[in-house]
Chains A and B, each alone.
Chain A
Amino acid sequence: MLVEMSSRKLLSTTNIVAMGVGTALYAAFNVFFNIFQLPGTQLVALRPSVCIPMFFGFVFGPVVGFVAGFLGNAISDAISWGGFWWNWDVGNGLLGLIPGLAMYILKREDIFEKKGLLMAAIMAIIASIIGMAFAAYTDYIFGYGISTIEEATTILFIPAAVTDAINGAILTPILVAAYGAAVRGRARRA
């Protein structure tokens, strides 16, 4: 049942809807959490919602995760303060893409087992580090408001990566487990 899903083509209707729904969910929650600006940082908010692209990536594959993170962040930024920061959107996309790579490491039938949940937590931490490093250091490289590498590390990278890693590592396995239980109850779902 689950094995069949990975062999479907990339832009199948299910994947398109998954990307749309993931984006909408991520944006809807971010609008609330964007108000939580961490003191002393720039645009870094405490967001339990980071688990959404991670979960979509883990269950539906890296591309769905990337789109949910990228577009969801872009739309929520547009709603909260009307702006578009492409590098932060790509960073958020990576939060969804990296857990999706578990698809190639783990057997599909294992993702709702203990092994899968552990993998989800580990991938969430790796994704937070890589994704936020990309966003923070591109701010420095292209000079969007940041002029020294130390500044990028202390006011952007560390606060964003640590909070996202904690939120992601706790909530993503919970979501995966809850989804696994819900899917088992509905045999029709592929």
Chain B
Amino acid sequence: MRTRFIRYIEGKSVIHRLDPRSKLIFVFSILLSLTVAPNILFLIPLLAVSLAFYFSARLPWSKTKTTWKFVLAIILVLSTLNLLTLSILYGGAQTLEDVIAQLTSKEVLLKSLTPVTKLLTLAIATVTFIFTTPPHLYAPALGQMGVPYKVAYIVQLALRYIPEYIDEMKKTLEAQMARGFRPKGGKNPIARILSVVPLVVPVTISATLSIYDIADAMELRGFGEKRCHTWYRKLRMMRRDKLLIMISIALAAIYVAIFLMRLYGVIDIPTILRLC
């Protein structure tokens, strides 16, 4: 790959050295636990685990700054919106004092903070995964997780062709300019992005026509002939990977168990952990 497109940040931390498969299992267990967590108190341990995962990756702030700015901006906007809609629409407030009282009431605050905490926890876990996993390991990791190699190859092909098509876009734009097309550009970033719009149709058509050539080339090299497939990059599970997988499974199991037991009324959340 000529340019590194996926935001991988090189490093030597323990998270960088983990097997991508175990990191993937960890992210999914966080996702599952978040989905079934009953209230905000149950989200705090998950947030802590995600933060621990993020901080052990020792990612430099200078390289993750833009992502965090983006995530925090969304979270700020969303929490304000949540707070306002909840207190104005559902609070039944008539006067300004009522609205202010609603805004600071415990119920409304909790109700608007819970979804935002879920979003933040999920963002921390996935951002760490993407920043610490080199993109060339995505397909081998999927393949060696038991995913059929043909499916893993879709990921491989996609990552392989993204830079190719960005090049193709540049080439098509130059060809159009040679025929007299002048994209509005200059310093305005929006106008420069708008110049991409006329490229959608020609680039898509030429790429679609090349599908058959790529498929022929792959079949000539024997792709799809045999049922089994070996991977050039052999991944090996170390002790730390097994530990992370065990932690992830335990975490998800606890949250799912709590969810199921509440669903069937076997237990209820102790009063201390109940919020409203």
Is there a chain A Cβ closer than 8 Å to B81's Cβ?
Answer: yes
- Looking at B148, B161, B189, the one whose CB has the most chain A CB atoms below 10 A away is B161
Is there a chain B Cβ closer than 8 Å to A11's Cβ?
Answer: yes
Interface size of B as a range = 35 or more
Is there a chain B Cβ closer than 8 Å to A190's Cβ?
Answer: yes
> By the criterion CB–CB under 8 Å, are A24 and B162 in contact?
yes
> Distance (Å) between the CB of B66 and the closest chain A CB?
8
- In the bound complex, how far is the Cα of B101 from the Cα of A187, in angstroms? 72
> Distance (Å) between the CB of B122 and the closest chain A CB?
7
> By the criterion CB–CB under 8 Å, are A145 and B119 in contact?
yes
**Contacts A16-B150, A155-B81 known; A21 to B157 CB distance under 8 Å?**
yes
The binding surface of chain B is classed by DSSP as helix
- In the bound complex, how far is the Cα of B211 from the Cα of A14, in angstroms? 7
**Contacts A27-B158, A29-B196, A145-B75 known; A17 to B215 CB distance under 8 Å?**
yes
Is there a chain A Cβ closer than 8 Å to B131's Cβ?
Answer: yes
> Distance (Å) between the CB of A65 and the closest chain B CB?
13
Is there a chain B Cβ closer than 8 Å to A6's Cβ?
Answer: no
> By the criterion CB–CB under 8 Å, are A84 and B126 in contact?
yes
> Distance (Å) between the CB of A71 and the closest chain B CB?
6
**Contacts A11-B150, A144-B115 known; A55 to B196 CB distance under 8 Å?**
no
Determine the residue in chain B with the shortest Cβ distance to A19: B154
- In the bound complex, how far is the Cα of B87 from the Cα of A170, in angstroms? 41
> Distance (Å) between the CB of B224 and the closest chain A CB?
5
0/1 string, B178-221, CB within 8 A of A gives 1: 00000000000110010011001101110111111011001100
Contacts of B116 in A (CB 8 A): 145
Contacts of A16 in B (CB 8 A): 150, 153-154, 157, 215, 224
Interface size of A as a range = 35 or more
Contacts of B123 in A (CB 8 A): 83
Contacts of A24 in B (CB 8 A): 157-162, 164-165, 207
0/1 string, A91-127, CB within 8 A of B gives 1: 0000000000000000000000000000000000000
> By the criterion CB–CB under 8 Å, are B207 and A21 in contact?
yes
Contacts of A84 in B (CB 8 A): 27, 126, 129-130
Determine the residue in chain A with the shortest Cβ distance to B125: A84
Supply 27 A–B pairs (Cβ within 8 Å), ascending by A. Answer: A13-B215, A13-B223, A16-B154, A17-B211, A19-B154, A20-B160, A21-B161, A21-B210, A23-B155, A24-B158, A24-B159, A29-B200, A52-B200, A52-B204, A71-B158, A75-B158, A82-B126, A83-B123, A85-B122, A143-B114, A144-B118, A145-B118, A146-B115, A171-B200, A175-B200, A175-B204, A175-B205
Q: Give the 7 A-B CB pairs with smallest separation, nearest first.
A: A20-B157, A24-B161, A23-B158, A145-B119, A143-B115, A28-B165, A84-B126
| Extra inter-chain contacts (8) besides given A75-B158, A82-B127, A146-B82, CB under 8 Å | A12-B215, A13-B215, A19-B154, A20-B158, A21-B158, A145-B74, A148-B86, A189-B209
